[in-house]
């Protein structure tokens, strides 16, 4: 898959006005009328931030909202995009986006709590990643930060698919599908409803095409 997105991202709420102004100055504004098709051949070196309206990713059954991020990892993008409610999009070069937002993006967290604290992951690690890679990175971070190391592997906190969706900014359907693929490929195992990663190094280096 060559399309990436972060939803819900709420970038407009989480970043201060000065940072948002810097992004606008570094980027280029594009306005798309209601139900207008957004060309697939977007620049792989840019991040798209929705400032107004929404964008429908048609073959994923997903509608990205104001404050969400999206982009493409390859010019072979095959995800039809359609604007809704007169979408206004700011396209920012990736390098500028990373420099301007460095240390400013709040971590993503889930409403599942461990020892009275919400589980969190680094948002910056999720950018520009394909869905399966993002799930694997998140699992590894959770295992290292909150997990328990046993002979059988790293035991993750008792998370459900909805918690992974909240942490990764992916849709529920994609999250469920990837979790099932990881279990089918034996990269992740289950025991009494808990996920276990037998080998962290393996799950981090596996290629997307093998899932």
Mean pLDDT of 84-109: 95
- How much is the mean pLDDT over the chain? 88
What is the tens place of the pLDDT at every residue in 170-193?
999 999 999 999 999 999 998 888
Domains, the chain, in order of start with CATH, read 3-101 (2.60.120.10), 108-210 (1.10.10.10)
Cα 62-65-67 angle, rounded to 5 deg: 135
Q: What is the pTM of this model?
A: 0.86
45-91 per-position pLDDT tens digit: 899 999 999 999 888 889 999 999 999 877 665 668 999 989 999 99
At residue 210 the predicted structure's pLDDT band, cuts being 50, 70 and 90, is: very low
């Amino acid at each position: 898959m060559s399309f990436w997105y972060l939803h819900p991202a709420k970038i407009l709420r989480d970043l201060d006005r000065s940072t948002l102004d810097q992004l606008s100055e570094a980027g280029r504004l594009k306005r798309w009328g209601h139900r207008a098709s957004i060309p697939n051949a977007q620049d792989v070196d840019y991040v798209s931030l929705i400032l107004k309206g929404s964008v429908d990713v048609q073959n994923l059954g997903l509608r990205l909202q104001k404050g969400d991020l999206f982009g493409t990892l390859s010019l072979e993008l095959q995800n039809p995009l359609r604007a809704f409610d007169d979408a206004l999009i700011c396209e920012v070069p990736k390098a500028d986006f990373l420099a301007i937002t460095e240390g400013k993006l709040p971590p993503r967290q889930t409403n599942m709590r461990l020892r009275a604290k919400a589980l969190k992951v680094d948002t910056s690690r999720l950018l520009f990643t394909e869905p399966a890679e993002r799930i694997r990175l998140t699992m590894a971070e959770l295992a290292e930060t909150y997990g328990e190391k046993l002979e059988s592997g790293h035991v993750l906190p008792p998370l459900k698919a909805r918690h992974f969706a909240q942490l990764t900014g992916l849709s529920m359907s994609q999250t469920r599908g990837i979790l099932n693929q990881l279990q089918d490929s034996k990269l992740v195992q289950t025991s009494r409803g808990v996920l276990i990663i037998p080998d962290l190094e393996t799950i981090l280096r596996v290629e997307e095409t093998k899932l």
